[in-house]
Amino acid sequence: MNRKWTLVAGMAVLLGACAFLAGGVKAQSSGTLHAAAPGMPGPQPGDKKAEEQFKNIQVLKGVPASQIFPTMQFITASLGVECEFCHVEGAFEKDDKKNKQTARKMMEMMFTINADTFEGHREVTCYSCHRGSAEPVAIPAVMMEDPKPGAGEAKRGASKESAAPGADALIDKYVQAAGGTAAIEKITSRVMKGTIDFGGHSLPIDIYARDPEKRISFTHMPEGDNVTAFNGQEGWLGMPGRPLREMHGSELDAAAIDADLHLATHLKQMFSELQVKGTERVGDREAYVVAGQRAGKTPIRLYFDAQTGLLVRLVRFGDTALGWMPTQIDYADYRDADGVKIPCRWTLARPNGRFTIQVSEVKQNVPVDESKFVKPAQEAQKEPAK
Ligand code: HEC
Ligand code: HEC
């Protein structure tokens, strides 16, 4: 692999697209889909069913076509393999590989287990058994080291819940630590310059955000810009020389969260239920973990620094046909800017990739032109060039 290709492949993984798809399959992805309710799993208006868009769907019938790639990424992460483990390159519809056929049986098995044993709740997924390996282990491992005295008590991240403050108090403390409601609400735009680091590469990035919930980032690669954008309703991903890819479902929901300049003051109204889950370590900090449930959407976990009160981690989940894909964002390097504290470094990690953005320059309440958030004409609708 030459450097340029590695870079494109790396960015593709970061953008949630699969580099392996370069040719044929990308062309199948419809560009006409307009997802409505952000974060709503299940079919969206205009979203085709998997079997209508793909050639050989036998088990995942009725699943929205836009969920096939996220679902495949979920399988890939659960088994710790690549797409090629089950697929012939460039011909995903073919059943030439035994693993693909086994995977179909496994899906049926998983659905049956959940239907028969867990009242239809998706408790068991591919990951429950596979744990990142193609060959699940059925036999417990032997003890590899002498037991340490006192070990065992600290297991399972147990914490003294009695002393934990309530979820509302933690959010109030966060809002206060971040500058207070008035200062936060005063921010109407944010322009950031910095670098994005992934897989040994470091590239310049520009991020523009403005109220309400609009955000676009440009990662400057030698061959052009990688774009991640959300305009309040629609989200899209662009790579040089590739058709635009629309965001769907929980991707849109995530983009809306990232674009919200007033997330801190919106947190309480986002959730139908909030629960403090005790404490966990995030890096060298102790943090309170708050689990938030949202009606019709996947839950979100928030980690508040026990001392400073600031948000140090957010974990959200992308829905797929077989299970949830987590995205973990760690926020660090909080700095003062116009009376608010904003994280100038964050690391976004998924099962299949991670990157860190370090911001070097922030400007707020500067004009950011509407035209920045206009979606480019949809090339994906056209027949792909052969
Ligand atoms: C463990 C096996 C496995 C892995 C790994 C896997 N897939 Fe699949 N894939 C399947 C199975 C099984 C189906 C068919 C599902 C069905 O019949 O409902 C499928 C179907 C597909 C289809 C639909 C093809 C068509 O036209 O019918 C695409 C596209 C696809 N996979 C892409 C991918 C990509 C991209 C990856 C890597 C990110 C991947 N798959 C990884 C098992 C796998
Ligand atoms: C209840 C546990 C369980 C669940 C859930 C499960 N698997 Fe498996 N899977 C196994 C076991 C056990 C084996 C290995 C059998 C063996 O070693 O021959 C296996 C084997 C496989 C293999 C063949 C691997 C190889 O190297 O031969 C594939 C592919 C696979 N599973 C895919 C999946 C997918 C995809 C899912 C989710 C839809 C899934 N499995 C869910 C238990 C599970």
Q: With 60 as the cut, is the pLDDT of residue 176 above it?
A: yes
**Pick from 262, 264, 265, 229: nearest CA to 247:** 229
What pLDDT score does 121 carry?
96
CA–centroid distance, 345 to ligand 1, in Å, is 35
Report the nearest-CA residue for atom 25 of ligand 2: 134
Work out the average pLDDT over 38-48.
54
CB 378 within 8 A of CB 237: no
pLDDT at 80: 96
Within 13 Å, how many C-alpha atoms sit on residue 254's CB side? 24
DSSP notation for 190-239: EEEEEEEEETTEEEEEEEEEETTTEEEEEEEETTEEEEEEE-SS-EEEE-
CA dist 161 → 170, 285, 288 (Å): 14, 17, 10
Mean pLDDT, rounded, for 362-378: 92
377: confidence class by pLDDT, cuts 50, 70, 90: confident
Distance in Å, CA 321 to ligand 2 centroid: 17
Which amino acid is located at 377 in the chain?
A
Ligand 2 pocket check for 134: Cβ under 6 Å: yes
Return the percentage of the chain with pLDDT > 90, whole number: 78
Which tens digits make up the pLDDT trace of 76-95? 999 999 999 999 989 999 99
pLDDT band (50, 70, 90) for residue 122: very high
pLDDT band at 42 (very low <50, low <70, confident <90, very high): very low
The residue ranking higher by pLDDT, 155 or 250, is 250
Q: Taking 60 as the threshold, does the pLDDT of residue 132 lie above it? A: yes
Q: Are 310 and 174 in contact (CB under 8 A)?
A: yes
Predicted local distance difference test score (pLDDT) of residue 27: 31
The tens digit of pLDDT for each residue in 19-29 reads: 444 333 333 33
The residue contributing the CA closest to ligand 2 atom 26 is: 134
For residue 135 and ligand 2, the question of a CB distance below 6 A is answered with yes
Which is the closest atom of ligand 2 to the Cα of 100? Answer: 29
- Give the closest ligand to the alpha carbon of residue 78: 2
Average pLDDT, integer, range 61-88: 96
Which ligand gives the minimal distance to the CA of 50?
Answer: 1
- Determine the 3-state secondary structure of 38 from DSSP: coil
Distance of alpha carbon 178 from alpha carbon 292, whole angstroms = 20
163-369: which CATH architecture? Clam (2.50)
- Ligand 2 centroid from CA 379, angstroms: 39
5, burial (CB in 10 Å: exposed 0-12, middle 13-18, buried 19+): exposed
CB of 60 shorter than 6 A to ligand 2: no
User: Each residue of 246-301: pLDDT tens digit?
Assistant: 999 899 999 999 999 999 999 999 999 999 999 999 999 999 999 999 999 999 99
**Nearest ligand, CA of residue 106?**
2
Full-model pTM: 0.87
Give the model's pLDDT for residue 147: 87
**Average pLDDT for 45-67:** 92
CA-to-CA dists, residue 20 to 87, 90, 185, 271, angstroms? 10, 8, 43, 37
Residue 149 pLDDT: 78
Which pLDDT score is estimated for 13?
56
CA distances from 234 to 10, 92, 302 (A): 24, 28, 25
Residue extents of the structural domains in the chain: 3-130, 163-369
Measuring from atom 6 of ligand 2, which residue has the nearest CA? 126
- Tell me: the pLDDT tens digits for 347-360? 999 998 999 999 99
- State pLDDT tens for residues 290-330: 999 999 999 999 999 999 999 999 999 999 999 999 999 99
Helices (H), the chain: 3-14, 24-28, 50-53, 68-79, 98-117, 126-130, 167-177, 181-186, 249-259, 263-270
**Which ligand 2 atom sits nearest the alpha carbon of residue 75?**
35
Residue 229 has pLDDT above 60, yes or no: yes
Averaged pLDDT score across all residues of the chain: 87
Q: Which CATH number is associated with domain 3-130?
A: 1.10.468
**Cβ(130) – ligand 2 distance below 6 Å:** yes
- Ligand 1 binding pocket (C-beta < 6 A) is 18, 20-21, 25, 54-60, 68-69, 72-73, 75-76, 79, 81, 83, 85-87, 92-93, 99-100, 103-104
For residue 385, pLDDT beyond 50: no
